[in-house]
């Protein structure tokens, strides 16, 4: 499985779009891995997780071709994870698709994601045809094109909607966990992951230097989460542990995150990083 993490910032991006804080100023000064766009990932160039306002930029920047994408798994409808209007570009008149392209792009998510897909594609002919929506059933493995099976796990995040984490397994049995946005994992999700060994796990490190655990996580929460996942039989020494979804309000730039995370066995994601697992 090839996993590319496309964007690694929380909602505002980093530097945040309108911000004079010291951590945005420093990110602008240092540049490089400190420049972070809104969240998303792509597996084997064909299965996307989240479709952020920066998805088009990611397609250009990383030389991707979204006509190969058949499935988008959406974690929740926050604006940094779903920019549904851009999916209208898959409709006739905006995109010209030959018969090498999957007939439909199927978007999975909760009811609120469905509403956003309806709204976003309305002006292009609405959902159905080139963009299909399917409501996720949590904890039920679902097979999709390309030999992948995904399972939506429940997150501890926005209480006004059911937010999901995604466990994705490929045809060779390789497994990755898209583990944000969330606080410390809920018991149902820990139970679903019990004894399920992950090859890679991405965790929510929004709050950086500060603890949270109830909506997002900080780096200390991620260390705690790693210990819990070890005890749960979900990870071992060979699991790639990856921190992502960073906010300027967490007050840790890339180098500071790496210095703290490396000794604890974590990688710190940056935009465009690729993992082969």
| Residue from 9, 24, 84, 242 binding Zn ion (CB under 5 A) | 24
Q: How far is the CB of 2 from Zn ion (least distance, A)?
A: 23
Residues 6+ apart with CB under 8 A from 38: 7, 9, 11, 13, 52, 53, 54, 80, 81
| Residue from 54, 170, 181, 267 binding Zn ion (CB under 5 A) | 181
Q: Applying CB under 5 A, which part among 18-26, 59-67, 189-197, 265-273 lies near Zn ion?
A: 18-26
Span 68-97, contacts to Zn ion by CB under 5 A: 78, 80
Q: How far is the CB of 94 from Zn ion (least distance, A)?
A: 27
User: Which of 91, 100, 77, 79 is closest to 128 using CA atoms?
Assistant: 91
Could you give the CA distance from residue 59 to residue 111 in angstroms, rounded to a whole number?
27
In eight-state DSSP terms, residue 234 is: S
Q: Is 22 one of the binding residues for Zn ion (CB under 5 A)?
A: no
Q: Is 35 one of the binding residues for Zn ion (CB under 5 A)?
A: no
Long-range contacts formed by 22-25: CB under 8 A, 24+ apart: 23/248, 23/249, 23/251, 23/253, 24/248
Max CA pair span of the chain: 53
* DSSP-H helix ranges across 96-246: 111-121, 187-193, 219-231
Could you give the CA distance from residue 78 to residue 159 in angstroms, rounded to a whole number?
12
Q: How far is the CB of 23 from Zn ion (least distance, A)?
A: 5
Q: Applying CB under 5 A, which part among 64-72, 102-110, 127-135, 178-186 lies near Zn ion?
A: 178-186
Q: Which is nearer to Zn ion, 181 or 220 (CB)?
A: 181
Q: Which is nearer to Zn ion, 73 or 101 (CB)?
A: 73
Q: Is 212 one of the binding residues for Zn ion (CB under 5 A)?
A: no
71 forms beta bridges with 47, 106
Q: How far is the CB of 206 from Zn ion (least distance, A)?
A: 7
Count of CB atoms situated within 10 Å of the CB of 209: 14
Residues 236-255: x/- map of binding to Zn ion (CB under 5 A)?
------------x-------
Q: Which is nearer to Zn ion, 101 or 136 (CB)?
A: 136
Q: How far is the CB of 243 from Zn ion (least distance, A)?
A: 14
Q: How far is the CB of 40 from Zn ion (least distance, A)?
A: 10
Could you give the CA distance from residue 208 to residue 157 in angstroms, rounded to a whole number?
17
82 forms beta bridges with 51
Residues that bind Zn ion (CB under 5 A): 16, 19, 21, 24, 78, 80, 181, 248
């Amino acid at each position: 499985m090839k996993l590319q993490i496309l964007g690694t910032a929380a909602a505002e991006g980093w530097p945040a779009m309108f911000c004079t804080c010291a951590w945005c100023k420093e990110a602008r000064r240092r540049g490089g891995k400190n420049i972070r766009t809104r969240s998303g990932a792509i597996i084997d160039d064909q299965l996307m997780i989240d479709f952020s306002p920066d998805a088009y930029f990611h397609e250009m920047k990383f030389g991707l071709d979204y006509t190969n994408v058949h499935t988008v798994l959406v974690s929740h409808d926050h604006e940094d994870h779903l920019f549904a209007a851009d999916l209208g570009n898959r409709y006739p008149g905006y995109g010209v698709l030959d018969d090498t392209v999957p007939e439909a792009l199927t978007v999975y998510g909760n009811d609120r994601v469905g509403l956003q897909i309806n709204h976003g594609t309305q002006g292009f002919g609405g959902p159905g045809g080139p963009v299909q929506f399917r409501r996720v059933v949590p904890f039920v493995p679902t097979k999709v094109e390309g030999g992948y099976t995904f399972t939506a796990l429940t997150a501890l995040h926005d209480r006004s909607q059911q937010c999901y984490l995604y466990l994705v397994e490929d045809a060779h049995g390789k497994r990755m966990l898209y583990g944000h946005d969330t606080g410390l994992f809920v018991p149902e999700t820990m139970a679903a992951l019990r004894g399920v060994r992950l090859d890679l796990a991405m965790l929510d490190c929004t709050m950086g230097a500060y603890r949270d655990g109830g909506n997002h996580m900080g780096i200390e929460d991620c260390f705690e989460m790693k210990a819990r996942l070890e005890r749960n039989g979900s990870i071992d020494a060979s699991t790639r542990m990856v921190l992502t979804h960073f906010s300027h309000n967490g007050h840790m730039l890339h180098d500071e995150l790496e210095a703290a995370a490396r000794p604890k066995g974590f990688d710190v994601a940056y935009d465009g990083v690729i993992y082969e697992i």
